[in-house]
Structure 1
Amino acid sequence: MTIPDPWPAPRALSPVDLTVSLPGSKSLTNRALILAALADAPSVVRRALRSRDTVLMAAALTALGAAVDTSGSDWRVTPGPWRADAEVDCGLAGTVMRFVPPVAALADGPVAFDGDPHMRNRPVGVMLDALRGLGVRMDDTDRLPFTLHGTGSVRGGRVVIDASASSQFVSALLLAGARYEEGVDVVHDGPPVPSLPHIDMTVAMLRQHGVQVDASVPDRWTVAPGPVKAVDHLIEPDLSNAGPFLGLAAATGGRITVRDWPAETTQAGAALRDILSSMGCEVSLCEEGLTVTGPDRLVGVDLDLHDVGELAPVVAALCALADGPSHLRGIAHIRGHETDRLAALATELGALGADVTEHEDGLSFRPAPLHGGLFHTYSDHRMAHAAVVLGAVVDQVEVENVTTTGKTFPDFPGTWSGLFTGAEG
């Protein structure tokens, strides 16, 4: 299928009533791949998400010496001796840029990292400084591209970092820490760490692999040195990618069920249940999945999204449609995501008529009529998610570079278009 650019967002002519299945979680898949490559025997990542980010992770680990068979829906990972003189392409994947260097430090020789042009603007210096403090030698830089010069082992030990820009700095060190001679003791010193559920996810998965992790002290995580046991993982649906689908129910006053929604999960997307409920939706979880039924009119909200910033773009789109004022706060850190999401959302929503004010750490909305126009995505999949939700209820919204959604959702445009019976573009 050829996808035009810009892409006319399908318009819902009536409230939707649908059941959807989602691809697997990127966050779980990439953590599972890292731990499988560090493990003491082969293992399988079942129902792995096949997207640009996860394929880049598999390629990075393969470049370092692991064997990752991605030919089927279940990916088999065989740890191998770490290779030097490797090159790692990070693309636009923050998990590759931040999770792989602590693993590559175990190689005996140089490993070079680079990525898409925009990735050279994303912060990684905190983690590179942390690795230097743990005994790893690398180029004197705080941005891509950089080269890490491994010696075959890492001393490890205690390191103090400011992880207020990204929880990935903590997760990156924890994932590899058990393979360091002294383990790793990560102390956060700074403003609150965003997206804490992602660190909880990392800790839970480490423990599944038999790694001893002490997270009993706030802002401190200690991983004991030792083996990483091989464990097969079954990947849950990506709950953050449920945002635009559940947002579609909210925006149209319709009903959508997302199949196989887990009763318990460490994914940040689980917060969608409470967020949508606060906006007036009916939300219920049963054996089939999670069902959201939208209201006649969306309610404005005041939300602190600090721990779930990745949900902000879709929530912002719904706030622009709400019947009352809204304020989203605690999300200054999303300025360092695939793009400056706060500035991008303010610009693009405002261009469609939204009464939106950008703040240092969030966005405020007042009700205003919206109109069609071109919505730029800035090569950011979450921006595209916001655009298609608006396009479902606003005439003639066009989405620039909608294919950027392939970062975490294969053929999102085809899946989304297929939801609209009798839709108009």
Structure 2
Amino acid sequence: MKILILGATGFIGSVIAARLRKDGHMVTGLARNPDRARIKHPSIDWIKADLAEMTDPSDWRAALSSHRIVINCAGALQDGLSDDLAATQEKAMLALYAAAAQSAIELVVQISARTEGGGRDQPFLATKRNADKALAANGLNHIILRPALVLGRNAHGGTALLRALAAIPYLLPLIHAQSPVETVSVDDVAAIVSAAIAGELQSGTDIDLAASEALTLRQLVILHRNWLGLPPAQVVPIPASFAKPVTWMADIAGKLGWRSPLRSTAMAVMSEGVLSRRDGQHLPSRRLATAAETLEANPSGVQDLWFARLYLLKPLMISGLALFWMLSGIIPILAPTGASRHLLPFMPDGLAMALTLITCFLDIALGAFVLVRPFARSALFGMLAVTLGYLAGGTLLEPSLWLDPLGPLVKALPSILLTFATLAVLEER
């Protein structure tokens, strides 16, 4: 059977795609960068598409052609430079349903969320809720699945943050430490999607997916710390008000294209916990793996420990480089005459001043652009190129600067290493 998966490159979607390929289905995925997706998932057919631009039924006709089932695993936590929730999670879905009703689509499986409770008015949950209601009212055969916090071999978003919190040394500072959290294995989610496609679930079913136990956030972080093989650490509950500066900075980062799980939407949801709906449907005939069983089935390796320790360092690395480069450009501008004195033995005053100002503005631009997600990689490579240029120029014009252990040439070396390290951890998925 030919199946179209939205969000097939994501944490949940990639596992569902692998399960359906194992079941013998032909899977097609939508991707903004299909060439890159094809390298990682060569057994899937890929279509170049951006959901934010597919807000009219006509935009879907070619993608739906020859497919019989659509599985929507796409989603984003919050509006930002890289995400438009209204377009991606609502307008595009309404256009999809309208186009599907006029096509040969036999079933739409929607991977949604619990859209009530804490944070229900946040755009993430509001757009999900509107899309769910539209799907239920459309007349299409459909199944809506609402996973709790999804755990698996890989990690993204909230699950990545769990690992990062668990890896903090000595003390574990937690906000909403006593909030209850239900979990579900990503493999169980994929198995239930497989069952839905096999006709084991009735059309119109709207199911909460969660294991039978609910842990507190504190218990879940400690469980992950044990999974990472780290020694016990004291949990330090932090008042929710203390999170506001972090949430504010995370929201700003979101507007620059970074998908931080510490944004206000996540904090609003966690204020109440991650729980199933009181009146929601469950799967009485299928037992879902607990958090402990899920982690035990996926033993951690050193790569998991590295990821957990680097996760919270990554934004510090990026902001540290941005600050370093912007200050290296701003400070000389405050005293340009003194900054240009190294160039005076080799060129006229005017040219030395012009070159000094050009390099200052270049440094400031690189520091600013590395903060913007779509430009971050190019800015990092630019930093490397400019640094090597400074080193070559400094060595050629004034090699004695190497003899000063606090001089600009020596200081450039750790900057190069930090830039390479940031490039190594830049990808989000």
Give the TM-score category using the shorter length: under 0.3
Q: Give the TM-score taking structure 1 as reference length.
A: 0.26
Question: As a proportion of its length, which structure holds more strand?
Answer: 1
Higher relative contact order (CA 8 A, sep 6+): 1
Q: Higher helix proportion, which one?
A: 2
Q: TM-score, normalised by structure 2?
A: 0.26
